[in-house]
């Protein structure tokens, strides 16, 4: 563990925390362009977060401590995940703390707490949102694990940095199993980040919302932390996707400062393209009924299993 | 396994795409999308055949690749499109078993086909040997699609997709059949398609529907 690895760890965490709202703003802007609407400012998520931090928090009388600590837990889980996912460099002191499976567990921890907090006050919409969130989550998690297992089968390790090292610095080879895993991962991340075929992030119609319904009781700094955490979650999923399927440009363990400096613009470039494709997917598809979600996520799971089977059959 | 030559990797990739499309067809509810998926599958098949031809220096495979491209990407989808326009059947059709269950059965079939193919592949020496399992899986999946669909047109598309799988199996196991046989099969498929098209009109004239459950009765019901 050298000074360089610590610096790259800090740099990566700082970039994740700072750029996550920007990514959200970029996706919203692209979506507005594609739908012929006038686009909100790229910096709108920052302004929202700042505005919310300046307000006074209102908490319901019968709220339990869970309701109060949830925003902090969710935010720190997402920040920790951002430190683990190798987005800039693979030589990270934090990354050995948790492998891909523990990372999925970290996302699950955040989900459980936010669902508990939503049910805490006993409002109808909160508990409805919590139930739906758990419903989507329990279908999406195994699919995500299968995707990560496919990548682990190729590289022989569940540690994300090792996977990235193997995939980025191998001889050029085509992995059909990764194509399956890529499609499955896209579907899972759409569902997990409350994006359009499953949930609509822009909706304020209570009957159709999933993620937003859970946040109705939050205000001020609590809401700001949760909004920031969901932006971070989108950032983390994008970085996992980039690490698994487009790992080129991430600085390896043996590389020097220059590689890390180069990795930053490369990451931003990849995120710009990724954000645009996300907006494109959201524009092209219509929101599904909630009871179609099992079919959608079941397909993702089967595709991921298929990827593993193809990997075992073809050995690639 | 990065020591494979590029051509073998590409063949594996197209084989995986073929399997992916077979699954997409299994899950698809709309007739129009089903036809487009079928055309895409034909395209993947033509590409992989062309690569096999290039990798193994078998000129007659180029012929069958072009034949596949013409027949399965242009002629048959065009015929099917014309047919559904004339019959005016653009509905979403329901399946006998619901889609997630069908997909799970599909996965079981894939595992079965892969297991069955492994010992055969070990004996073979062709560059495409590992894709035999995928070819068998696509045949079985197309078969499953024919079983689980109630209407006539999806069943016919399932039949055509099964032929795709068989063709791919022939390419991957033996570098394709002789040209005469392939021409014969292509002609058979085309003629079969035309005859089935005539059948559709007859079925609809008799029963006012393309639902094949009407054909299960032996007598005209009174």
Model ipTM value: 0.71
Token pair 């209407």: residue:
B151
Task: State the Cα–Cα distance between residues B83 and A232, nearest whole angstrom.
Answer: 50
pLDDT of residue B93: 67
Lowest-pLDDT choice from A72-86, A252-266, B75-89, B134-148: A252-266
Read off the pLDDT of residues A281-294 as tens digits, 9 standing for 90 and up.
888 887 778 788 88
Is a pLDDT exceeding 50 seen at residue B1? no
**Residues from chain B contacting residue A167 (CB–CB below 8 Å):** none
Q: How confident is the model at residue A73 (pLDDT cuts 50, 70, 90)?
A: very high
Is a pLDDT exceeding 70 seen at residue B125? no
- Interface with chain B: mutation pick from A176, A177, A286, A299, highest number of B CBs within 10 Å: A176
- Interface with chain B: mutation pick from A143, A314, A315, highest number of B CBs within 10 Å: A314
In chain A, what is the straight-line distance between the N-terminal and C-terminal CA atoms, in Å?
33
- Interface with chain B: mutation pick from A154, A156, A310, highest number of B CBs within 10 Å: A310
Is a pLDDT exceeding 60 seen at residue B26? yes
Q: How confident is the model at residue B15 (pLDDT cuts 50, 70, 90)?
A: confident
Closest CA to B150 of B112, B106, B93: B93
- Work out the percent of chain B whose per-residue pLDDT is above 70: 87
Nearest neighbour of B107 by CB, restricted to A180, A183, A302: A302
Task: State the Cα–Cα distance between residues A4 and A88, nearest whole angstrom.
Answer: 13
Is a pLDDT exceeding 80 seen at residue B126? no
Which residue in B has a C-alpha nearest to residue A298's C-alpha?
B100
Indicate yes or no: CB of B10 within 8 angstroms of CB of A174. yes
pLDDT of residue B3: 60
Read off the pLDDT of residues A153-191 as tens digits, 9 standing for 90 and up.
888 888 888 888 777 776 666 778 888 888 889 999 888
pLDDT of residue A253: 65
Nearest neighbour of A305 by CB, restricted to B107, B118, B133: B107
In angstroms, what separates the C-alpha of A119 from chain B's closest C-alpha? 30
Is a pLDDT exceeding 60 seen at residue B221? no
Nearest neighbour of B4 by CB, restricted to A303, A313, A316: A316
pLDDT of residue A152: 87
Q: What is the DSSP string of A160-193?
A: HHHHHHHHHSS-----HHHHHHHHHHHHHHHHHT
- Work out the percent of chain A whose per-residue pLDDT is above 70: 94
Distances from the Cα of A21 to the Cα of A227, A231, A235, B137, angstroms: 9, 6, 9, 45
**Residues from chain A contacting residue B15 (CB–CB below 8 Å):** 176, 314
| Residue B134 DSSP label | H
Q: What is the mean pLDDT of chain B?
A: 80
**Residues from chain B contacting residue A296 (CB–CB below 8 Å):** none
Chains A and B form CB pairs within 8 A to the count of: 73
Sign of CA pseudo-dihedral B26, B27, B31, B35: negative
Contact between B48 and B15 under an 8 Å Cβ cutoff? The reply is yes
pLDDT of residue B169: 83
| Residue B219 DSSP label | S
Closest CA to A277 of A183, A208, A179, A174: A183
Q: What is the mean pLDDT of chain A?
A: 83
Burial profile B130-155: b = 16 or more Cβ within 10 angstroms, e = fewer: bbbbbbbbbbbbbbbbbebbebbbbb
**Residues from chain B contacting residue A310 (CB–CB below 8 Å):** 16, 19, 134
Which residue in A has a C-alpha nearest to residue B104's C-alpha?
A302
Residues of A with CB under 8 A from a CB of B: 170-174, 176-177, 179-180, 183, 294-295, 298-299, 302-303, 305-306, 309-310, 312-316
What would the two tokens of residue B83 be?
A: 């047919």
Nearest neighbour of B100 by CB, restricted to A295, A303, A306: A295
**Residues from chain A contacting residue B104 (CB–CB below 8 Å):** 302
Q: How confident is the model at residue A75 (pLDDT cuts 50, 70, 90)?
A: very high
Which whole number is the average pLDDT over A43-60?
86
More confident residue, B202 or A33: A33
**Residues from chain A contacting residue B100 (CB–CB below 8 Å):** 294-295, 298-299
Read off the pLDDT of residues B63-98 as tens digits, 9 standing for 90 and up.
888 888 888 888 888 888 888 888 777 666 667 777
Q: CA B3, A263, A85 angle in degrees (round to 5)?
A: 80
Length of chain B: 222
Which whole number is the average pLDDT over A124-129?
85
Q: Is residue B30 helix, strand or coil?
A: strand
Task: State the Cα–Cα distance between residues B153 and B211, nearest whole angstrom.
Answer: 9
Length of chain A: 316
Indicate yes or no: CB of B131 within 8 angstroms of CB of A303. no
Which residue in B has a C-alpha nearest to residue A154's C-alpha?
B1
**Residues from chain B contacting residue A301 (CB–CB below 8 Å):** none
**Residues from chain B contacting residue A178 (CB–CB below 8 Å):** none
Is a pLDDT exceeding 70 seen at residue A52? yes
Which whole number is the average pLDDT over B40-69?
84
Which whole number is the average pLDDT over A59-71?
86
Closest CA to A307 of A218, A244, A242: A244
What would the two tokens of residue A282 be?
A: 């959201």
Contact between A306 and A176 under an 8 Å Cβ cutoff? The reply is no
pLDDT of residue B131: 80
More confident residue, B95 or A266: A266
Q: What is the DSSP string of A47-112?
A: HHHHHHHHSPP---TT--HHHHHHHHHHHHHHHHHHHHS-SSBS--TTGGG--HHHHHHHHHHHHH
Which residue in A has a C-alpha nearest to residue B118's C-alpha?
A313
Q: Is A105 exposed, middle or buried (0-12, 13-18, 19+ CB in 10 A)?
A: middle
**Residues from chain B contacting residue A305 (CB–CB below 8 Å):** 107
Which whole number is the average pLDDT over B185-208?
79
Task: State the Cα–Cα distance between residues B141 and B25, nearest whole angstrom.
Answer: 9
pLDDT of residue B2: 46
Read off the pLDDT of residues A231-262 as tens digits, 9 standing for 90 and up.
999 999 998 888 888 877 777 766 667 777 77
Residues A39-48: contacts with CB under 8 Å, at least 24 apart: A45/A21, A45/A227, A45/A231, A46/A21, A46/A22, A48/A224, A48/A227
- Interface with chain A: mutation pick from B16, B20, B30, B118, highest number of A CBs within 10 Å: B16
Which whole number is the average pLDDT over B101-123?
84
């Amino acid at each position: 563990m050298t000074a360089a690895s610590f610096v790259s760890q800090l740099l990566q965490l700082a970039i994740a925390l700072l750029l996550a709202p920007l990514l959200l703003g970029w996706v919203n802007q692209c979506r507005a362009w594609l739908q012929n609407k006038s686009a909100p400012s790229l910096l709108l998520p920052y302004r929202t977060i700042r505005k919310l931090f300046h307000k006074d928090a209102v908490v319901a009388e019968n709220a339990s401590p869970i309701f109060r600590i949830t925003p902090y837990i969710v935010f720190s889980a997402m920040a920790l995940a951002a430190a683990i996912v190798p987005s800039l460099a693979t030589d990270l002191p934090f990354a050995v703390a948790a492998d891909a499976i523990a990372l999925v567990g970290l996302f699950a921890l955040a989900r459980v707490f936010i669902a508990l907090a939503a049910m805490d006050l006993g409002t109808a919409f909160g508990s409805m949102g919590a139930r739906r969130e758990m419903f989507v989550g329990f279908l999406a998690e195994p699919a995500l694990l299968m995707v990560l297992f496919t990548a682990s089968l190729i590289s022989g390790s569940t540690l994300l940095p090792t996977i990235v090292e193997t995939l980025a610095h191998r001889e050029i080879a085509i992995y059909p199993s990764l194509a399956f895993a890529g499609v499955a991962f896209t579907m899972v991340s759409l569902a997990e980040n409350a994006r359009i075929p499953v949930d609509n992030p822009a909706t304020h119609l209570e009957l159709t919302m999933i993620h937003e319904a859970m946040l109705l009781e939050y205000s001020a700094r609590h809401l700001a932390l949760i909004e920031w955490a969901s932006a971070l979650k989108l950032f983390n999923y994008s970085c996992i996707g980039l690490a698994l399927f487009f790992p080129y440009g991430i600085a390896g363990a043996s590389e020097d400062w220059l590689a890390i400096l180069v990795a930053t613009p490369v990451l931003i470039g990849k995120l710009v393209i990724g954000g645009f494709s996300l907006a494109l997917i959201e524009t092209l598809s219509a929101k599904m009924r909630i009871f179609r979600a099992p079919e959608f996520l079941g397909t993702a799971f089967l595709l991921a299993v298929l990827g593993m089977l193809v990997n075992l059959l073809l050995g690639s | 396994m990065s020591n494979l030559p590029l051509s073998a990797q590409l063949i594996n990739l197209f084989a995986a795409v073929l399997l992916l499309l077979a699954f997409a067809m299994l899950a698809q509810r709309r007739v129009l999308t089903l036809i487009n998926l079928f055309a895409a599958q034909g395209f993947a098949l033509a590409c992989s055949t062309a690569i096999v031809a290039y990798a193994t220096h078998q000129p007659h495979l180029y012929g069958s690749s072009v034949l596949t491209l013409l027949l399965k990407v242009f002629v048959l989808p065009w015929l099917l499109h014309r047919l559904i326009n004339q019959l005016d059947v653009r509905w979403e059709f329901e399946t006998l078993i619901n889609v997630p269950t069908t997909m799970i059965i599909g996965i079981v079939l894939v595992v079965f086909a892969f297991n069955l193919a492994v010992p055969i592949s070990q004996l073979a020496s062709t560059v495409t040997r590992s894709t035999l399992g995928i070819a068998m899986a696509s045949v079985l999946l197309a078969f499953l699609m024919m079983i689980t669909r109630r209407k006539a047109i999806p069943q016919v598309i399932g039949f055509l997709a099964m032929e795709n799988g068989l063709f791919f199996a022939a390419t991957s196991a033996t570098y394709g059949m002789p040209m005469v046989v392939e021409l014969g099969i292509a002609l058979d498929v085309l003629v079969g398609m035309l005859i089935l098209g005539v059948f559709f009109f007859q079925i609809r004239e008799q029963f006012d529907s393309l639902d094949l459950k009407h054909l299960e009765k032996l007598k005209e019901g009174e």
